[in-house]
Every structure is written in C-alpha cells, then in structure tokens.
C-alpha cells in the first residue's frame, strides 16, 4: 500500500517539475498548492513553523491500577520549538498530549513510529492538505518518521488526533494512542471563556483490564468486531479514577471527547440540571444550547459550560450516561449473540461516568456570554446538487458493514464518491437495513429496509475527513417511535461538525463545501471496529 502512495507522490512531483519547466503559471500554481512538501518523510527547510513537536508512538508500561503496570501504546511528545504552553502532557495516563494551537499558526509535527505495527496519525476534524491527513496508505513502519507541516486553518474548536492505519486503528486507539488538539482564534479570545485550569479536557473511554491489569481487546472475536468493542470500565482522561476535582465558586469549560472505540453515551448531570453546550466538534456555537442530555457518539466533541458559582466546598455532582434504546435490530442477534461482547456495561444501560468533587473553593470571573460565535450556515440553494443529494447508505451485506454496498479499497474511488473543488454539496446519509448473508438478491442497494432487510442494524457515527459540515435535517420518520423518544432531545444540529450519529432508520442531510485542497480523503464509520472491518471509503476532491 505504501508503495502505491509513494508512486503517487513521485508522480505529483514529476508533474510539478514538468509544469515549472513549461512555466505554465496556472498549472504550476495549483500544483504547488497541492504539494507543498513533496516528501513527507523529510523536513521542508523552507517551512518556518511557529510550533514544532516531535510525537513518538511507543509501547510503555503505565501504572493504571494497583499492582502490576499496564502495557500501553502512547504518544511521547517533545517540544522542539514554540511556546511551552502549547504542549501539555497528562501525567500517568496513556492519553495525550494536549496540543494547543492558534488559527493561522504554522505547525510541524514529526511523527515517529516506534510501534511493532505500521501507523500514521490523522488530525480529526482538521482541514489539511491530502498528504497531512493521515490517509491509511501513508502508513510508516517502525523506525520511520512522517513530517506534517501545515497551517492551522480551522476555527476555534476541540479537535483530536489518533492513528489511522487500516485494520489496526481500533487496536492502536484502544491501546492508548489519542490526544486533543485545541484550536483557538480571535473570535474565541473575544469571548473571554475560561482558560488555564478552568478549561479542562474530559476524554471518556471504556476499557477492559484483565486480572493482570492488562488491556483486553476483542476477546469476543468476530462478534465484537461486528458490534464494536465495549469495555466494562469507564476511563476519564486515560485514568480509571472516575473523579474530577474542581473548585466550588468557579465557572468551567469542559471539553468532552468521546474517545471510545464504539460506545455511545447519553450524557446528563445526575441532579437534573441541564447541560449547557457551548461548542461542538469544529466550532463554538452561536448561543449556548441548554439540553436535558446529549448523545455523544464516538469521536464527537462537545464543550460544556459548568457553573459551580452557587456550589460550596464539599459539594458533589455526578455525570451519568442515561439509559436509552440503541435501536439495534437483528433476528438471530437478539438472543445471546448480541451480547457476544461480554461487557458488564451494556450499550444503552444507565451508569455513572464520573463525579465532580469540590474539595476546594475559589472564584473566577469568566461569564457565559449570551452570544458566542455567529456561524454562517451554508445555504442549501448554493449547493450544486441542491435537488439531488448524493446518497450514502450504511448497511450490512454478507456479514460485512458497507457503504453503498462497498467496503474499503486503499486507493479506489467510485464516481459517486468524486466531488469538485470549490463546490458546495448536500449529502444524505442513511442507516438502512441490510441482510445477514450472501447477496442472493433479497436486498440490493437502496432498499428501503423492512423484512429481511432489517436483520441487522446498528448505530453508525459517520465521519468525513477534510471538511466541517452543517446539518440540514434529521429525518426520523422511519424510526421506531419508542426508540427515537429515548434519544431525541440529545442531538445538536447547530455549528460545524465532522461526525454525526446515524441511528438505525435515521437519515441525515448535511451540507459541506470542498475548498483549498484536492486529493483523496476518507469518510467512514467511527465505530473503530466497523472502520477496521472496511466501513470506510475514499472520496476524491478534483
Ligand atoms: Cu477520527 Cu478517520 O478519523
Ligand atoms: Cu477524521
Ligand atoms: Cu458503524
């Protein structure tokens, strides 16, 4: 795979050389744009970074539980150049680091792979050139270094990074490889939102450890893969202690990331107070959104405003995941097989995530502004396919999760997956029924479901690389009412997002604009076991 990609790189390089000889200016310009550094395995001496970080994926033993240490895979980081506050480690955790950047900054990340597997890092939610997106064909082997050099073009928001090698993403993330990338910009600065100790990461993951304190992954075999792996213990910021110590009398900004492989949370405070959402994925909202609970799918981020002004020292609040119907259907799946995954925390059950303990009190003067950052939602009438959205159906076929009946091919891209640079498009994502076995014609692509078609359906958190999109519509008309009622107040359609939770039977219309960079990017289900099984495809911007 990496050889193919190398060929592509060389091809582009030759293309540029040719263009410069001909001095065909427009050609040369677009070429230079696409390919600023022709070899990501080397530093570009002409690139002058504001921040230069070395990120090394290593195997390391970490003390997680009492007794024996846990073998994890983790990013070791080192600041080569830049402000020391831009890089923050999380002590005694497999998670991190937290990288803080500003829009407009130039960043260089030297990713070195010291794992016993091939890997590549992807910047989830970031708008970067093709060669810095962490495409699965860009994997490097143990001992190699991949250099990312790009300008931060994204809005203020909570982004993250994780490995993206096809087939092993689930394992690598599960073993510990993930970190937050926080982007700030001028608009955010003007809001005077909480900073420093009042701006906190809240990364939620589920993990299973065995009697020797070692991480257990996919012990349920094929069924775990098909359903997605569920751990039986909730981890907070890469630690098993489900406790956050905050100061009574203060206001906080909590940056939630669901860093779990497949688990979906229905977040709510136990005291019945609503959640105040101020940001989602790649954006700060226009106004705080007050919600009884939030459905947080894998890979999604929300920024929560937490007001502890009226609390006193010694107070406690708890964050829970409330019970919900996952909407999963499946003939033979309904029996014991559905629980082939031997977790003690079934999806959709109610459990505690963590407690906030106010062991101290203090004060700060961060106030929640009534208006945050205005967003100019893309206008559907400007879409080139306004009357004819591109359709992507996510379903099971032949015991395999597919997108429009197709699965992952490293460099393949279908006609319906090819879009034009500088256009706006509407995509319709649908979670339809599939069938269990073979392709005996019981159900083809685009079948509306029903009958055998519904044999197996699961939630799919759908993620598109490269872009931040707006949500135009959630169509739930084909969902079971009881199932929809258990989750319906937990969805957010405002802001710029890069991942949507597509529940069984749901259709979602999104709108996005393809700008600045041509190339091959991926879109996929962010249930990492589904992704690794092949529920991922390329799309091409040309
Ligand atoms: Cu967070 Cu393609 O991934
Ligand atoms: Cu991504
Ligand atoms: Cu999926």
Closest CA to 108 of 80, 152, 149: 149
From residue 286, alpha-carbon distances to 137, 307, 496 in Å are 38, 19, 11
Per DSSP, the three-state class of 86 is helix
- Asked if residue 299 has its Cβ within 6 Å of ligand 1, the reply is yes
- Asked if residue 253 has its Cβ within 6 Å of ligand 1, the reply is no
**Confidence bin at 330 (pLDDT 50/70/90):** low
The yes-or-no verdict on residue 34 having pLDDT over 70 is: no
Query: Which residue is closest in CA terms to ligand 1's atom 1?
Result: 124
- Ligand 1 nearest atom to the CA of residue 536, by list position: 2
Ligand closest in space to the Cα of 524: 1
**Confidence bin at 434 (pLDDT 50/70/90):** low
What average pLDDT does the segment 214-221 reach?
90
Confidence (pLDDT) at 19: 36
Q: What's the CA-to-centroid distance between 106 and ligand 3, angstroms?
A: 34
Closest CA to 147 of 233, 47, 42, 273: 42
Q: In what order do the strands lie in the sheet with 121-124?
A: 87-88, 98-102, 179-184, 157-163, 121-124
Q: What's the CA-to-centroid distance between 464 and ligand 2, angstroms?
A: 6
- Asked if residue 311 has its Cβ within 6 Å of ligand 1, the reply is no
- Asked if residue 122 has its Cβ within 6 Å of ligand 1, the reply is yes
The yes-or-no verdict on residue 448 having pLDDT over 50 is: no
- Here the tokens at position 522 are 């991926």
Taking residue 272's Cβ as centre, other Cβ atoms within 10 Å add up to 7
Confidence (pLDDT) at 335: 38
- Ligand 1 nearest atom to the CA of residue 522, by list position: 2
* Residue 111: partners with Cβ closer than 8 Å, 6 or more residues away: 55, 56, 57, 120, 121, 140, 145, 146, 147, 148
Confidence (pLDDT) at 455: 60
**Confidence bin at 435 (pLDDT 50/70/90):** very low
- Ligand 1 nearest atom to the CA of residue 160, by list position: 1
Q: What's the CA-to-centroid distance between 507 and ligand 3, angstroms?
A: 14
Q: What's the CA-to-centroid distance between 528 and ligand 1, angstroms?
A: 9
What average pLDDT does the segment 302-314 reach?
97
- Ligand 1 nearest atom to the CA of residue 125, by list position: 1
What average pLDDT does the segment 304-313 reach?
97
Q: Tell me, what DSSP letter sits at residue 378?
A: P
3-27 per-position pLDDT tens digit = 344 444 433 333 333 333 343 333 3
- Rank 224-228, 329-333, 436-440 by mean pLDDT and report only the highest: 224-228
Q: What's the CA-to-centroid distance between 312 and ligand 2, angstroms?
A: 40
Overall residue count recorded for the chain in this entry: 542
- Asked if residue 524 has its Cβ within 6 Å of ligand 1, the reply is yes
Confidence (pLDDT) at 439: 41
47-87 per-position pLDDT tens digit = 999 999 999 999 999 999 999 999 999 999 999 999 999 99
- The angle subtended at Cα 283 by Cα 278 and Cα 289, nearest 5°, is 25
Ligand closest in space to the Cα of 394: 3
What average pLDDT does the segment 135-144 reach?
98
Alpha-carbon span 407 to 421, nearest angstrom: 25
What b-and-e string marks burial along 112-145, b requiring 16 or more CB atoms within 10 Å of the CB? Answer: bbebebbbbbbbbbbbbbbbbbbbbbbbbeeeeb
Ligand closest in space to the Cα of 298: 1
Average pLDDT, the chain: 89
Ligand closest in space to the Cα of 466: 2
What average pLDDT does the segment 98-106 reach?
98
Look up the pTM and report it.
Answer: 0.90
Q: Are 244 and 355 in contact (CB under 8 A)?
A: yes
What b-and-e string marks burial along 46-80, b requiring 16 or more CB atoms within 10 Å of the CB? Answer: ebebbbbbbbbbeebebebeeeeebbbbbbebebe
- Asked if residue 463 has its Cβ within 6 Å of ligand 1, the reply is yes
The yes-or-no verdict on residue 355 having pLDDT over 70 is: yes
Q: What's the CA-to-centroid distance between 151 and ligand 1, angstroms?
A: 19
- Ligand 1 nearest atom to the CA of residue 523, by list position: 2
- Asked if residue 465 has its Cβ within 6 Å of ligand 1, the reply is yes
230-265 per-position pLDDT tens digit = 999 999 999 999 999 999 999 999 999 999 999 999
- Asked if residue 166 has its Cβ within 6 Å of ligand 1, the reply is no
Lowest-pLDDT range, 5-14, 136-145, 277-286, 384-393?
A: 5-14
Q: What's the CA-to-centroid distance between 261 and ligand 2, angstroms?
A: 14
Confidence (pLDDT) at 243: 95
- Asked if residue 247 has its Cβ within 6 Å of ligand 1, the reply is no
Q: What's the CA-to-centroid distance between 203 and ligand 1, angstroms?
A: 16
Q: What's the CA-to-centroid distance between 536 and ligand 1, angstroms?
A: 10
Alpha-carbon span 174 to 532, nearest angstrom: 13
- Ligand 1 nearest atom to the CA of residue 162, by list position: 1
Alpha-carbon span 183 to 151, nearest angstrom: 12
Q: What's the CA-to-centroid distance between 541 and ligand 3, angstroms?
A: 24
Ligand closest in space to the Cα of 165: 1
Ligand closest in space to the Cα of 257: 1
- Asked if residue 460 has its Cβ within 6 Å of ligand 1, the reply is no
Q: What's the CA-to-centroid distance between 146 and ligand 1, angstroms?
A: 18
Alpha-carbon span 93 to 516, nearest angstrom: 37
Q: What's the CA-to-centroid distance between 147 and ligand 2, angstroms?
A: 18
Q: What's the CA-to-centroid distance between 126 and ligand 1, angstroms?
A: 10
For every residue of 17-32, DSSP letters joined together read HHHHHHT-HHHHHHHH
Query: Which residue is closest in CA terms to ligand 1's atom 3?
Result: 124
- Ligand 1 nearest atom to the CA of residue 124, by list position: 1
Confidence (pLDDT) at 222: 82
Ligand closest in space to the Cα of 467: 2
Confidence (pLDDT) at 342: 56
**Confidence bin at 333 (pLDDT 50/70/90):** very low
């Amino acid at each position: 795979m990496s050889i193919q990609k190398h060929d592509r790189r060389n091809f582009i390089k030759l293309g540029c050389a040719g263009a410069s000889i001909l001095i065909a200016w427009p050609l040369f310009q677009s070429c230079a744009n696409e390919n600023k550094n022709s070899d990501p395995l080397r530093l570009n001496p002409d690139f002058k970074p504001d921040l230069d970080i070395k990120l090394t994926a290593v195997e390391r033993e970490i003390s997680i539980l009492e007794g024996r240490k846990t073998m994890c895979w983790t990013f070791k980081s080192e600041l080569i150049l830049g402000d020391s506050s831009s890089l923050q480690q999380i002590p005694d955790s497999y998670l991190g680091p937290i990288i803080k950047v500003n829009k407009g900054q130039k960043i260089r990340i030297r990713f070195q792979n010291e794992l016993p597997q091939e890997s590549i890092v992807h910047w989830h939610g970031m708008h970067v050139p093709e060669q810095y997106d962490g495409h699965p064909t860009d994997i490097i082997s143990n001992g190699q270094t991949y250099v990312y050099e790009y300008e931060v073009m994204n809005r203020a928001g909570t982004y993250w990074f994780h490995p993206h090698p096809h087939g092993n993403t689930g394992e690598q993330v599960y073993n510990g490889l993930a970190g937050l990338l926080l982007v700030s910009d001028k608009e955010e600065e003007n809001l005077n939102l909480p900073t420093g100790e009042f701006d906190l990461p809240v990364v939620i993951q589920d993990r299973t450890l065995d009697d020797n304190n070692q991480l257990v992954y996919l012990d349920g075999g094929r069924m775990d893969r098909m359903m997605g792996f569920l751990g039986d213990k909730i981890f907070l910021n890469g630690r098993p202690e489900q406790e956050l110590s905050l100061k009574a009398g203060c206001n906080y900004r909590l940056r939630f990331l669901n860093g779990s492989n497949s688990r979906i949370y229905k977040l709510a405070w136990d005291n019945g107070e609503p959640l105040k959402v101020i940001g989602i994925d790649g954006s700060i909202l226009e106004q705080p959104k007050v919600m009884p609970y939030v459905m947080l799918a894998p890979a999604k981020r929300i920024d929560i405003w937490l007001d502890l002004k009226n609390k006193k020292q010694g107070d406690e609040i708890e964050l829970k995941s409330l019970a919900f119907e996952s909407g999963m259907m499946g003939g033979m799946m309904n029996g014991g097989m559905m629980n082939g995954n031997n977790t003690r925390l079934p999806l959709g059950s109610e459990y505690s995530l963590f407690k906030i303990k106010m062991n101290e009190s203090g004060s700060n003067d961060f106030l929640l502004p009534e208006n945050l950052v205005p967003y100019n939602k893309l206008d559907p009438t400007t879409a080139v396919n306004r009357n004819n959205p591109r359709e992507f159906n996510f379903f099971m076929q032949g015991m395999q999760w597919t997108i429009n009946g197709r699965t992952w091919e490293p460099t393949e891209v279908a006609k319906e997956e090819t879009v034009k640079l500088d256009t706006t498009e509407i995509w319709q994502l649908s979670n339809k029924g599939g069938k269990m076995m073979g392709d005996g014609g019981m159900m083809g692509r685009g079948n509306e479901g029903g009958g055998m078609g519904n044999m197996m359906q699961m939630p799919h958190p759908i993620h598109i690389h490269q872009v931040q999109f707006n949500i135009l519509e959630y169509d739930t008309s084909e969902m079971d009412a009881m199932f929809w009622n258990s989750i319906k107040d937990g969805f957010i359609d405002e802001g710029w997002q890069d991942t949507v939770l597509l529940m069984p039977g749901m259709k979602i219309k999104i709108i996005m604009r393809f700008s600045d960079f041509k190339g091959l990017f991926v879109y996929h289900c962010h249930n990492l076991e589904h992704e690794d099984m092949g529920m991922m495809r390329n799309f091409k911007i040309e």
